Structure 1
Amino acid sequence: MPADEQETGTGHEPGTGGQDDGISRKNFIVAAGAAGIGALALPTAVSAVAAPAQARTGQRPLTPTPKCDDGDDTPTHSQMEGPYFKPGSPERASIVTPGMPGTPLTVSGIVYSMSCTPLAHALLDFWQADYYGNYDNYGYKLRGHQYTDAAGRFTLTTIVPGLYPGRTRHIHVKAQAPYQGILTTQLYFPNEPRNSSDMLYDPALLMKVQTGPSGRTAKFDFVLQVP
């Protein structure tokens, strides 16, 4: 576990207290109309006929559908704003400053509508605690906003936030599609000891996190409650 994960900060936030970026495949059946194959045919026999049939017709495998929300579930869960939000953050994709302590972290993903359409120019405003668990309430350290690109993608360069009493590790964010309402929520890290005791923790808001030689990468896709 990186050193910063052991750090317990000195600040605190009143404790009033999924989505991953994976791909869900739409299964499909290739019907093989061979006279010798009946209801009791073995699965291996079906596969043997299906593949040549697919080759003859030039049919290609179906494109995987992005795992967002097809309108039959719920959008990304909302959570409390907390006491440390500050409007007017600078527009920037990197919210770290030179020499800032902490494990480097890159968070990326896509912002979708309820119909699985990527949302271009959606606003994402991030803020978080520093390595020591403190928020910058005077300036804009570890604060910043950005807009998704034409494909709904975003990338945030930051550090793994520190711990402070009453909370597990988390990153705050406000997300807003153009001319739509604002989603306020928080993103969480897997396998954190404090996840089980944090009253605000929501497993649906877990990022998919990997550790590499130069830090950590995290994936999370937002689904906003717009058509």
Structure 2
Amino acid sequence: MTHHDTSSIGRRGLLATLGAATLAAASSRPAEAAAPGLPLTAQTTEGPYYLDVAQVRRDITEGLQGVPLDVRFTVCDAAGKPLPGLRVDIWHCDAQGRYSGFPAQGDDRSGAFEGKTFLRGSQFTGRDGTAAFATVYPGWYAGRTTHIHMKVFKGARAVLTSQFFLPDALSEFLYTQVPLYQRSRVRDTLNSVDGIALRAGDTVLGAVREERQRYVATLALVVDPAADPVVDRPPRPGAMPPPQGTQGAKGAPGMPAMGVGGRPVHPRALEGAARIRALVPPRTTG
């Protein structure tokens, strides 16, 4: 597996200067899963890019380059009891915001990745309810903040379909300093304005820490094993005609809005002091 070397890009300086507090969402730490009465992890839209690739594997990179990221889930019920034997799926975009398995990917919609399965896979939770994946830090695409999708299955039934969100300050640093992630335009959507992230709330904020030559994202997935929720499943790309009318027509959840001729509409990115305030929320006192 080949990953981008991040040892010389000043990560420790980032965590100090951009507010390390944003890298730890207390509600998402697996160590806290023993507390009773935990809130269930919020359900979100599945998005249009889910595929069941039927590959149980820890390493989902398929040799794809990127900043190494381990994703570690602890799956438990609301009482904090670990739930073994559940299947956890994850999927996310690559460093340039492109999903495997679909056509018309990337800023210019020219990327064709039908038949590809990178950055997708499944694991079954162990006796302690944990499931872990080796992947790369995801990129971004127009209209969405940085996110990773996940589903939890009990048998054939999906008891959780959701997304979790990574710290904006860390994402900003990687996207501007690591060549593989750099783009011709500025990321347009942050956690603070992403509609899906705002509706989901704190239960899907991943805690991130730095380990040797990689980042580690952890999240407790608190589920009701008896649940049978309705999955919000938007049409897949190409399964519906492009929106007609004025530019800025809203697309399916999890997809960039499309304008005249099916071209993606890019939201206006925050700049200057407003962007800094959004990237590094003020610390609370008391």
| TM-score of the two chains, using structure 2 as the length reference | 0.54
Aligned equivalent of 1:9: none
Find the counterpart in structure 1 of residue 105 from structure 2: none
Q: Give the structure 1 partner of residue 152 of structure 2.
A: 175
**Which residue among 117, 125, 129 is the counterpart of 1:148?**
125
**C-alpha distance in 1 between matches for 2:211 and 2:80:** 30
Structure 1 unpaired stretches of 5+: 4-17, 25-64
Q: Are the structure 2 counterparts of residues 209 and 199 from structure 1 closer, same or farther at C-alpha, using a change threshold of 3 Å?
A: same
- Residue of structure 2 in register with 1:21 after alignment: 29
In the alignment, is residue 66 of structure 1 matched against residue 74 of structure 2?
Answer: no
Give the deviation of 1:213 after TM superposition.
Answer: 4.1
CA shift for structure 1 position 115: 2.5
Find the residue that maps to 2:210 and give its secondary structure. Answer: strand
Matched letter for residue 77 of structure 1:
A
Distance 2:41 2:153 in 1: 12
Query: Is 2:39–2:203's contact at 8 Å kept on the other side of the alignment?
Result: no
- Give aligned pairs, total: 169
In structure 2, C-alpha distance between the alignment counterparts of 1:150 and 1:23, rounded to whole Å? 16
Q: Deviations over 1:35-56 (max 9, x none)?
A: xxxxxxxxxxxxxxxxxxxxxx
Q: 2:142, 2:154 → 1: CA distance?
A: 33
Q: Does 1:86 align with 2:51?
A: yes
1:200 to 174, 189, 196: 196
Match of 1:184 in 2: 161
Deviations 1:63-90 (A, max 9, x none): xx724xx3x4531111000000012331
Give the Cα separation in 2 of the matches to 1:23 and 1:90: 29
User: Counterpart of 1:66 in structure 2: which amino acid?
Assistant: A
Fraction of identical pairs, as percent: 28
Give the equivalent residue in structure 2 for 1:221. 220
Query: Deviation at 1:178?
Result: 4.3
Deviations 1:145-180 (A, max 9, x none): 110112211111111100110111100000123475
Task: Give me the whole-angstrom Cα distance separating, in 2, the residues matched to 1:179 and 1:127.
Answer: 18
Change in Cα spacing, 1:169 to 1:95, as seen in structure 2 (3 Å) is same
* Structure 1 counterpart of 2:42: 77
Aligned counterparts of 2:151 and 2:29: Cα–Cα separation in 1? 19
Counterpart for residue 62 of structure 1: none
- Higher mean Cα deviation, 115-124 or 206-215? 206-215
Alpha-carbon distance in structure 2 between the residues aligned to 1:162 and 1:150: 32
Give the RMSD, CA atoms, in angstroms.
Answer: 2.3
**Is there any run of 5+ residues in structure 2 with no aligned partner, and where?**
1-5, 10-25, 102-113, 173-189, 227-286
Higher helix share: 2
Number of the residue aligned with 1:15: none
Moved more, 116-125 or 207-216: 207-216
Runs of 4 or more off by more than 3 Å in structure 1?
177-181
* Aligned partner of residue 145 in structure 2, secondary structure: coil
Structure 1 counterpart SS, 2:133: strand
Partner letter of residue 188 of structure 1? F
| 2:217 aligned partner, one-letter code | A
AA at the equivalent of 2:160? L
**1-structure distance, mates of 2:154, 2:29:** 19
Larger RCO (CA under 8 A, 6+ residues apart): 1
Based on CA coordinates, which of the two structures has the bigger radius of gyration? 1
Q: Does the 8 Å CA contact 2:85/2:126 hold for their aligned counterparts? A: yes
